[in-house]
Amino acid sequence: MQDVHFRHNNLTTAEVRSGHLHRLHRVKLFSAAICHITQGSKVIIQDENRLVAGPGELIIIPANTPLEIINQPEQGAFRSDLLLLSTHIITAFKNNWVEDFPPAKLTSLCTPMSNGLAFMWESLLNAVRQDLPAKLQEHQAMGLLLALLHDGVAGPLLIERRFNLTEQVRQLIMLSPAKLWTAQEIAGHLSIGTSTLRRRLQMESQSYRQIVEEVRMSCALSQLQSTTLPIGEIALRCGYLSGSRFTARFRQHYGCLPKQVR
């Protein structure tokens, strides 16, 4: 991937790579995701709950769920395939196939890779990576989601998302993480006043600057894990003109240095 505008695609794949064990705090994906470890293992911690996933399992991650993650290499390398699912895909699946949306449980975030899941997972990955027509990709996605539903583990993907003001601001910033967004500009896009924007975000326990940094940090982590771009260039692409400031903010946010992620 050469840029991080990918979260607006209906389906996106990325390969996460690392040569070092690292622990990341406050990792949050803005799209629902499915992850498959191909080398090494991943520890997922939420509150007091801890899961360990390896190559024989799928990890199902609901959107906007902060997690602590430890990627553990094996024989010097950690690798995993990550699939991001847009709200359009999830909504279409619910409307066509699901009558009752089961609540998400942490115990269902990690599921064994059954034969049906393995077949559908590989089919969807190939469809996205070969850039097949969007309708064919979505058809394969429905197959994977049906396989998850059949195995009783689709719950975390079916959480109802509320498109509050925080989500609307986030979607705008994701269009161009490096842009020097101002609160006035964001408010203008949303046809509200700047003071109204700040007040409503405060009611959602958020701030404009907090959302900007959250998006930039997420984009930076994605590029560090899935590209070989220099750290300085990633910093620029995510809106940080100073490499040292980027490193400091990344460490404060995730608990490790950018270079340790690789």
Domain boundaries for CATH 2.60.120.280 within the chain:
6-158
How far from 135 is each of 142, 223, 233, 254, CA to CA, in Å?
11, 27, 34, 37
Domain boundaries for CATH 1.10.10.60 within the chain:
165-261
What is the CB neighbour count within 10 angstroms for residue 57? 20
* CATH code of the region 165-261: 1.10.10.60
Tokens standing for 3?
A: 């840029």
Measured in degrees and rounded to the nearest 5, phi and psi for residue 213 equal: -65, -40
Q: pLDDT grade, residue 49 (50/70/90)? A: confident
d(CA 193, CA 187): 6
> 51-108 pLDDT, tens per residue?
999 999 999 988 888 899 999 999 999 999 999 998 889 989 988 888 765 554 444 5
> 191-224 pLDDT, tens per residue?
999 999 999 999 999 999 999 999 999 999 999 9
Model pTM score = 0.80
The greatest distance separating any two alpha carbons of the chain, rounded to the nearest whole angstrom, comes to: 55
Domain at 6-158: CATH architecture: Sandwich (2.60)
d(CA 168, CA 26): 21
How far from 218 is each of 7, 25, 32, CA to CA, in Å?
11, 12, 14
> 106-150 pLDDT, tens per residue?
445 889 999 999 999 999 999 999 999 999 999 999 999 999 998
